[in-house]
Amino acid sequence: MRKFLFILLLLFAERSFSQHVDSLFLSKDTLHQVTVQAFLSNKNWKDVPASVTVINQKELSNISTTSLLPAINAVAGVRMEERSPGSYRLSIRGSTLRSPFGVRNVKIYWNEIPLTDGGGNTYLNLVDVNQLTGAEIIKGPSASMYGAGTGGVLLLKSNQPFLAAKANIFNTSVSAGSFNLLNEQVGWIHQQNNFTSNLQQSHLQSDGYRQQSAMRKDVLKWDGALQSKKQQFDFLFFYTDLFYQTPGGLTKAQMLQNPQSARPAAGTTPGAVQQQAAIYNKTVFGGLNHQFKISGSVSTETSLMLNHTSFTNPAITNYENRDETNTGIRTKIIFHKKINATDFQWITGGEWLYNHARIDDYGNKNGQPDTLQLKDDLYANQCFGFSQVQINYLRWSLNTGISFNNQSLHYKRLTDVNTDYFTTQNKNIAAPRIALLYKIDPYISLYALAAKGFSPPSLAEVHPQDRIFHSELQPEYGWNFETAVKGDILHHRLQFDIAVYDFELHDAIVIRNNALGQQYFVNAGSISEKGAELWLKYHLITHSDNFISVMNIWSSYTYQPYYFSAYTQGINNYSGNAVTGVPKNNWVIGIDLETKKNLYFNIQYTQTSSLPLDDANDEYADASHLLQAKMVKHFSIQKIHLHLFAGADNLLNELYSLGNDINAAARRFYNPAAKRNFYVGLNLNF
């Protein structure tokens, strides 16, 4: 921390530079022109009374060409993990207590179309990072127009702008790297004044660092938009065929002995290699978003979603086949009127998400289905209505809203004789939010907010690996109070965002393991989540005539001293213990450099403090130090643009676990990440 403050002091003491700024650089890399879409704000990032981070396309591609992880982990308060290639977890201002795998308690939308299903799960690993143009992350309970949730919201974007003249852009890229990595994409973008189309195909494969960690992903995506004078239709279709092996967790002794090994056999329980543990996911997704301008003050926006997933999971102790159908609708009516110095916006609407899952469980005999164990039929519905008001008057901005949330789960075990459907429900749970912002001057804003977070258990938590329907599981809830200051000063050279918050969470949902190592969930009493986040970006050099024409230094710091304020499990009292899976400190610092010879360089260093691996706090993962770098050389010949790039990950050759299995049976906490590795590639546009 002292090093960070010293660097910051040097930056403030830096002499003034010429006011001549490369306009292309500013349009790509500074935040003073960035507009936030979250909460339908359509305002500059520093004038939005919420903790929202915008990630642009350049930041998505600064390090990796295969994953969202490096760009997302550069955001203060956000942690994305990868237990093995293709297996992601995402946590916003909280722990991974609820996510042994997958993404839960975080709502995700793509071009305003819901990706999260009615069961509360999102297959984020179906998305190819190369097919995105940006993202926004709302941190903490969002409430109002995004409904229930204590984690946050991720808004993915792949929109292309309309152009006055027709344009066709063809692009292709290929890269290769360590562990037989191969990544390939081909795309065609068409743009004109009332129609855009983006058709892309991608293929990604790798043998993985560990045994039983190979993966392959094929994606075909088509999205675009059609507009008329009063209407616009945005569409999104994709098909993803995803396969990745799951090597399983290791004990610390096993990791130190051979970090590349998969989970070995233990007693009568076979290992991951023998059971050919893996995930097979084939998903077809279709979505449509319709905007209609009824008058100068009134408009509507409606999204429709339909998808089907075929999911197969040979695991250590069972072989699961799952067939899922999901559909959803989201609609809102927007009234927007400006009267003199007052800008008034009122949004009201609702969202309904539906999931039907047929789950068949078999024994796993060396990677093949064996004796039938059970067949389950499950239905999940989530719906909410909301209303939100936003008023801007001179230097003040008020955003307030409320949602009323409903969830129902219907379950029947088809292999049980003479049983009816069992139902659990949560009805009309209110989740209010109020936020007030004051612009101290045109460059600095101060805001405060209060929001109630409410998150019902997801389908995967009520129906976990132990295959018992846990109807006793209750929603978690709590109030979040937050204040922050953010600004854009020194002629747009320095941007900053500093936030502190206090979120007291009750009936928190945490993961446990039974004697067979199967996961299930319980309510853990209450958790105190007080924290602070700091983000800074300084444009050290912005002069196109210099050899180094652009140089940015940026940093994010997260402080999360979370603890269980009341948590008793049987005879064990964990009150006062640090919350499992949450590092107390996380610091990221990066440098972006550009030369007048079209050479680009990015380096990112991440320091994560030690973190508890179980609720008893009797084992901690060691602190980690991760260094990543990427270099790009750009060539242009008339309308042909060529990018050659090379990159490296874990340059310090750290032995660390990027995705820990918390509260794991037999203390198999660790999923070792790859040691030092490299990649090279090229991208061609014409």
pLDDT digits (tens, 9 = 90+) for 415-437: 988 888 988 888 889 999 999 99
Query: What average pLDDT does this structure show over 319-334?
Result: 97
Residue 477 makes CB contacts below 8 A (sequence gap 6+) with 150, 429, 452, 453, 454, 455, 505, 506, 507
Strands (E), 507-547: 509-513, 519-523, 526-542
Going through 68-105 in order, the beta strands assigned E by DSSP cover: 78-84, 87-92, 103-104
Per residue in 577-614, pLDDT (tens digit) is 999 999 999 999 999 999 988 999 999 999 999 999 99
Predicted confidence at residue 224, as pLDDT, reads 97
Q: Note the pLDDT tens digit of each residue in 628-646.
A: 999 999 999 888 999 999 9
pTM: 0.93
What do you get for the CA distance between the two ends of the chain, in Å?
A: 46
Q: Which two tokens stand for residue 624?
A: 């980690």
H or E element at residue 61: helix 57-61
* Structural domains in the chain, sorted by start: 2-685 (2.40.170.20)
Instruction: Please report which confidence band the pLDDT of residue 12 belongs to, taking 50, 70 and 90 as the band edges.
Output: very low
Question: pLDDT digit string (tens) for 657-677?
Answer: 988 998 888 999 999 999 999
Spatial contact of 142 and 452, defined as CB atoms under 8 Å apart: no
CB-based contacts of 339, cutoff 8 Å, min separation 6:
none
CA torsion, points 207, 259, 64, 135, in degrees to nearest 10? 110
Write the pLDDT tens digit of every residue in 546-584: 889 999 999 999 999 999 999 988 889 999 999 999 999
Reduce the DSSP state of residue 546 to 3 states and report it: coil
What pLDDT is attached to residue 13?
A: 36
